[in-house]
């Protein structure tokens, strides 16, 4: 086998993540449980999944040429749809559950479809989890939106007595759309 043939095979092998079936299953069940909390409007319970130092970020996206593709997303601190620390995330939950946030009164109906969950174990015991998603939202009688993209989470093992195995320390949500056609991003992705 030539060196040219070995390089693509090595690239494929490095793209394949190696994790135990038990860990993969545990992470998938956590991801699905979180989606259920959101779809059932259990926002206070959902908020407990985040660490006190959590960051929740949805960068803006720009269409770029192939040569500039590495600059397609805004950097942290510049141009974001959402750029929340835990305190701001808690404030968003408080607003959406108060009944006075006009963009969510009456509340949206949502359904999350999650796929291609990839788990990468980090040396410090944390997990980097990438998930593809499709979130459907309907509101009022005829309003419908959907959000498609990839989410990257940093999960930390939860302590004893916590009902879930992990807590979310960081979330980056990359939407496929460069122009969001929904009137607002008032739901949690």
- According to DSSP, residue 75 is labeled P
Count CA atoms closer than 13 A to 146's CA, side-chain side.
9
Structural domains in the chain?
19-175 (3.10.450.50)
Per-residue pLDDT 10s for the chain (189 aa) are 545 555 555 545 555 667 899 999 999 999 999 999 999 999 999 999 999 999 999 998 887 777 777 777 778 878 898 999 999 999 999 999 988 887 888 889 999 999 999 999 999 999 999 999 999 999 888 889 999 999 999 999 998 889 999 999 999 999 998 888 888 888 999
pTM of the model: 0.86
Strand order in the sheet with 50-59: 80-85, 50-59, 166-175, 143-157, 127-139, 109-121
**What is the predicted pLDDT for the residue at 17?**
65
**What is the predicted pLDDT for the residue at 11?**
47
């Amino acid at each position: 086998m030539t060196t040219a043939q070995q390089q693509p095979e090595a690239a494929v092998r490095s793209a394949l993540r190696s994790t135990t079936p038990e860990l993969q299953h545990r992470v998938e069940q956590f991801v699905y449980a979180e989606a259920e909390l959101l779809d059932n409007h259990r926002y206070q319970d959902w908020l407990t999944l985040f660490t006190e130092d959590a960051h929740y970020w949805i960068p803006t996206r720009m269409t770029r040429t192939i040569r500039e593709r590495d600059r397609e997303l805004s950097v942290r601190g510049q141009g974001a749809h959402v750029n929340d620390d835990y305190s701001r995330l808690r404030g968003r939950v408080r607003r959406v559950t108060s009944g006075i946030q006009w963009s969510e009164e009456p509340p949206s109906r949502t359904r999350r479809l999650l796929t291609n969950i990839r788990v990468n174990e980090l040396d410090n015991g944390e997990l980097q989890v990438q998930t593809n998603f499709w979130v459907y939202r309907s509101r009022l009688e005829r309003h419908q939106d959907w959000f498609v993209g990839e989410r990257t989470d940093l999960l930390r093992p939860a302590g004893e007595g916590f009902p879930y195995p992990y807590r979310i320390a960081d979330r980056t949500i990359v939407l496929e759309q460069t122009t969001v056609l929904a009137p607002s991003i008032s739901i949690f992705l």
